[in-house]
């Protein structure tokens, strides 16, 4: 253990000396630094935990992973996956999401929850199937997640304009009063260059998109806009994919609709458990619920900005068959 932990510390020191570094967010210290590691911008506060996770995580056959860029519907998917998988354990009115559990506790962000404190955490206490979340790009996932033929990955992404605006609002929302604002123009310029936590955004999306073409049983690839437009059919697809399909009887009883309502933006946002309290790094739970709509970016981006985003981000999807 001792040797191993010194190794990771030394590796980190060496990487920090050598890798390109930028700032994304408020603040001037290392907390707002991102390092270009393995082709993505890794937030410094999670750098060491990321390396530990990559080195030590062991996948179980029935693991369920949610992998997402930032601000694309992670909170929503966490609530839906937890509720679908545990629906026989909790009657709808007893679902702990209503009272004591935030979606982020229901499906923990692995690096933050386990690897920040401990390089080789004991994960054997987590009930199976384990519901776990990470923001890492596909190619940087711990190898055993990619290699395990039965472990599942749910991916959700979103229109780049809305993702960017949601990200910028989130950063502004969590900014302590004594920190300078993160100007929209500066955030935008960096976003277009791919410089933001777990960016470039287009690479994140294309990594999972390509992996999905190669192995469609392993990855469910979703877009926020599609799930919004037809939540019912996507929740059924999600349940099938996870191996927890709805029975005919459940469908007749309206279980699908019930789950959709429970996990809706309007419902979750107003629950005391989500209105109060904090997550790791002092992030207020309430910051994860803002507007929950498609197209809000049109209220913030000028036509020139949209054009630049179309070229720098949307253009990358040209040959992929992906559209937003």
Residues designated as active site: 135
Find the shortest distance in angstroms from Cβ 188 to ligand A3P. 16
Q: Which is nearer to ligand A3P, 121 or 137 (CB)?
A: 137
Query: d(Cα 217, Cα 152) in Å, to the nearest integer?
Result: 8
Scanning 11-19, 112-120, 236-244, 282-290 for contacts with ligand A3P by CB under 6 A, the matching segment is 282-290
Which of 106, 151, 211, 268 touches ligand A3P (CB under 6 A)? 268
Closest CB to ligand A3P among residues 39, 229: 229
Please give the Cα distance from 136 to 124 (Å, whole number): 22
Among 130, 146, 169, 175, binds ligand A3P (CB under 6 A): 169
User: Which of 118, 153, 141 lies closest to 38 in space, CA to CA?
Assistant: 141
Q: Candidates 27-35, 36-44, 56-64, 161-169: pick the segment binding ligand A3P (CB under 6 A).
A: 161-169
By the rule CB under 6 A, 231 interacts with ligand A3P: no
Number of residues interacting with ligand A3P: please give it, by CB under 6 A.
Answer: 20
Q: Tell me: does residue 290 bind ligand A3P (CB under 6 A).
A: yes
> What length is written for the chain?
324
Residue 200 preceded by cis peptide, ω within 30 = yes
Strand partners for 43? 34
In order of 11, 49, 119, 126, 187, the CA distances from 195 in angstroms are 23, 20, 27, 34, 9
Residue from 9, 129, 131, 111 nearest 53 by CA: 111
Binding-site member from 16, 144, 292, 314 for ligand A3P (CB under 6 A): 292
Number of Cβ atoms within 10 Å of the Cβ of 282:
8
| Candidate residues 36, 37, 90, 265; the one interacting with ligand A3P per rule CB under 6 A | 265
Which residue in 141, 148, 263, 309 binds ligand A3P (CB under 6 A)? 263
Q: Minimum CB separation from ligand A3P for residue 27, in Å? A: 20
291 touching ligand A3P, by CB under 6 A? yes
Q: Which is nearer to ligand A3P, 69 or 194 (CB)?
A: 69
**Is 35:44 a contact under the CB 8 Å cutoff?**
yes
The span from the CA of 215 to the CA of 202, in Å, is 20
CB of 115 to ligand A3P, least distance (A): 20
Residue with tokens 């192995």: 215
Per CB under 6 A, 76 contacts ligand A3P = yes
Among 54, 144, 264, 286, binds ligand A3P (CB under 6 A): 264
Find where tokens 């009272």 sit. 99
The two three-digit tokens of residue 96, written as one number: 């702990």
With H, G, I as helix, E, B as strand and everything else as coil, classify residue 195.
coil
Of the ranges 69-77, 82-90, 201-209, 312-320, which one interacts with ligand A3P (CB under 6 A)?
A: 69-77
Residue 244 CA to residue 39 CA, distance in Å, equals: 35
Three-state SS at 59: coil
Pick the piece of the chain touching ligand A3P (CB under 6 A) from 15-23, 66-74, 200-208, 305-313: 66-74
* 72 counts as binding ligand A3P under rule CB under 6 A: yes
For residue 4 the two structure tokens come to 């191993």
How do strand 64-67 and strand 131-134 relate by DSSP bridges? parallel
Neighbouring-strand partners of residue 37: 40
Q: Candidates 7-15, 45-53, 70-78, 174-182 — which segment interacts with ligand A3P by CB under 6 A?
A: 70-78
Binding residues for ligand A3P, rule: CB under 6 A, are 68, 71-76, 162, 166, 169, 263-265, 268, 288-292, 296
């Amino acid at each position: 253990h001792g040797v191993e932990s010194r190794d990771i510390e030394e590796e980190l020191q060496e990487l920090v000396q050598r890798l390109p570094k930028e700032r994304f967010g408020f603040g001037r210290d290392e907390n707002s630094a991102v390092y270009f590691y393995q082709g993505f911008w890794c937030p410094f506060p999670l750098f060491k935990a990321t390396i530990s996770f990559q080195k030590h995580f062991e996948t179980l056959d029935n693991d369920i992973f949610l992998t997402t860029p930032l601000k694309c519907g992670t909170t929503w998917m966490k609530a839906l996956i937890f509720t679908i998988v545990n629906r026989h354990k909790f009657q709808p009115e007893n679902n702990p999401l209503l009272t004591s559990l935030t979606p982020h506790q229901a499906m923990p962000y692995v690096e933050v929850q386990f690897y920040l404190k401990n390089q080789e955490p004991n994960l054997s206490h987590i009930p199976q199937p384990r519901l776990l979340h990470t923001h890492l790009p596909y190619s940087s996932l711990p190898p055993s997640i990619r290699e395990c033929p039965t472990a599942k990955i749910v991916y959700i992404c979103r229109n780049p304009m809305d993702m960017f605006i949601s990200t910028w609002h989130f950063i502004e929302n969590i900014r302590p009063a004594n920190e300078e604002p993160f100007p929209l123009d500066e955030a935008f310029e960096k976003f277009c260059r791919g410089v933001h936590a777990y960016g470039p955004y287009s690479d994140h999306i294309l990594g999972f998109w390509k992996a999905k073409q190669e192995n469609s049983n392993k990855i469910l690839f979703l877009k926020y806009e599609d799930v919004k437009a037809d939540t019912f059919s996507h929740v059924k697809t999600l349940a099938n994919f996870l191996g927890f399909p709805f029975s005919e009887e459940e469908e007749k009883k309206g279980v699908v609709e019930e789950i959709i309502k429970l996990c809706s933006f309007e419902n979750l946002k107003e629950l005391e458990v989500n209105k109060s309290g904090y997550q790791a790094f002092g992030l207020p739970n309430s910051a994860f619920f803002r507007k929950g709509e498609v197209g809000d970016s049109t209220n913030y981006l000028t036509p020139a900005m949209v054009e630049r985003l179309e070229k720098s981000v949307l253009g990358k999807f040209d040959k992929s068959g992906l559209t937003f």
